[in-house]
Amino acid sequence: MTRRSPSRTQFTVTALALGTALTVSACGSTAVPSAAPTAATTSMADKTAMADKTAMADKTAMAESPGMAHGAYVSYADYQAKMTMYQGSKVVLFFHASWCPDCRATETALTGSPVPDGLTVVKVDYDTAVELKQKYGITQQHTFVQIDSAGMSVKKWTGTKDGAAIKAQTT
């Protein structure tokens, strides 16, 4: 019997399968919902609606008195620009990746219902925030880091799915 060496196509298919498996396992999910939108397929209307919800939450928080610690879900840029507005609130950085099904589910929960009072969840782009990932030792998306008013890490965890669960994790 003659032994044949694997073809280039077999190596390519194996490499693609391995890459897909690693991506899915890094997200902490064993299955990717086929109906879930991806970054490439999310419509401009969906992106606009999501941005509008975030802006509306930000405007609502701004309209309230700064002494009141109302819940908010904001982008990192907005948080940096208006840090004093979130004083008196527990601040949690949410390292989010648009391609992560768990991240998308958490974002849907955070934008679909009010964030609990006393909690500010700050969305950080996992793929571009290299310095923040290094600062807080982040090695996977869908990681949460509670920070104090000086920006120092208080607690770090993964796997939380909504605002109430995030608040329950804070110290």
Query: Residue 26 domain-assigned?
Result: no
Query: Residue 28 domain-assigned?
Result: no
Q: Please, what is the Cα angle at 33 between 125 and 52, to 5 degrees?
A: 45
Q: What is the pLDDT of residue 41?
A: 41
Query: Residue 150 domain-assigned?
Result: yes
Query: Residue 99 domain-assigned?
Result: yes
pLDDT tens, residue by residue, 46-105: 544 454 444 444 444 444 444 446 899 999 999 999 988 888 899 999 999 999 999 999
CATH of the domain at 75: 3.40.30.10
High-pLDDT (> 70) share of the chain, %: 60
Query: Residue 87 domain-assigned?
Result: yes
Query: Residue 7 domain-assigned?
Result: no
Query: Residue 129 domain-assigned?
Result: yes
Binning the chain into helix, strand and coil, the percentages to the nearest 5 are: 45, 15, 40
What is the count of structural domains for the chain? 1
Query: Residue 18 domain-assigned?
Result: no
Asked whether 94 and 121 are in contact (CB, 8 A), the reply is yes
Supply the pTM of this predicted model.
Answer: 0.63
Range of the domain at 159: 38-169
